Amino acid sequence: MELEYYTKESDSQTVYRMKSKPRGYCLIFNNHDFSVARKEVFKLHRIKDRNGTDLDTEALKNTFSSLHFEIVRYRDNTAKKIHEVMKSYQKMDHSNMDCFICCILFHGDKSIIYGSDGKEVSISELTSYFTGLNCPSLVDKPKIFFIQACQGDNYQRGISIDTDSKQEDDYLEMDSSSQKRYIPDEADFLLGMANVNDCVSY
């Protein structure tokens, strides 16, 4: 398995190294039981348990196991526990790993997820544990987050597609004066969301 990306300067291909075994950790946070949240947090009194989430967890486990990741599963975690787990992996030495993956299957709202206790957890705060400054052994390595959680109450509209579209390759303009010596603190992140902001997740 190889992850590829391109740089503007040379249009040459650069490939992330994906040869270690295990490739890295794949954390799967699976919150099914929200009974505590229904009791403790008034605005979540109608929130339901996430039936079907165990099937998604099993599919993720099978997929990333076949890609040689070390799977670590967590179930029905409070907001505090999620932070504790993230901090523990932040402090680990990932030097012999090539990648880090975190899958989060929760209820949520705009830019946040809910722990099993109904307390809010900022998505940006979770990813911040693994920036270059906070987790140096993951610098230049992919940090991939898959989040299956609502990000609001609206429903995303569907549209019909009649033809395929062709897109030109566009690149973001960058300040070339700093490219050779520095990389952004939040480089090499991929955040995959099940939906867009303000909308529910199916």
Radius of gyration of the chain (CA): 19
Catalytic: 107?
yes
Q: Give the model's confidence band at 7: pLDDT under 50 very low, under 70 low, under 90 confident, else very high.
A: very low
Q: What is the DSSP string of the chain?
A: --EEEE-TTT--EEEE---SSS-EEEEEEE----HHHHHH-GGGTTPPP-TTHHHHHHHHHHHHHHTT-EEEEEES--HHHHHHHHHHHHSS--TT-SEEEEEEE-EEETTEEE-TTS-EEEHHHHHHTTSTTT-GGGTTS-EEEEEES--SSB-PPP----S------------TTTTTT---TTTTEEEEESS-TTB---
Q: Which of 94, 107, 135, 199 is catalytic?
A: 107
Taking the whole predicted model, whether its pTM rises above 0.95 is answered as no
| Angstrom distance (rounded) from CA 189 to CA 100 | 10
Q: Note whether 3 and 142 are within 8 A (CB).
A: yes
CB contact set of 90 (below 8 Å; sequence gap of 6+): 129, 130, 134, 135
CATH architecture classification, 21-153+183-193: 3-Layer(aba) Sandwich (3.40)
How much of the chain, in percent, has pLDDT values that exceed 90?
57
Q: Which of 26, 135, 150, 199 is catalytic?
A: 150
Q: Note whether 105 and 148 are within 8 A (CB).
A: yes
Catalytic: 94?
no
Least confident of 42-46, 52-56, 70-74, 142-146: 42-46
| Cα 28 off chain centre by | 10
Q: Which amino acid is at 72?
A: V
The model's pLDDT over 63-110, given as tens digits with 9 standing for 90+, comes to 999 999 999 999 999 999 999 999 999 999 999 999 999 999 998 888
Mean residue pLDDT of the chain comes to 81
Tell me the CA distances in angstroms from 175 to 12, 134, 184, one per residue in order.
18, 24, 12
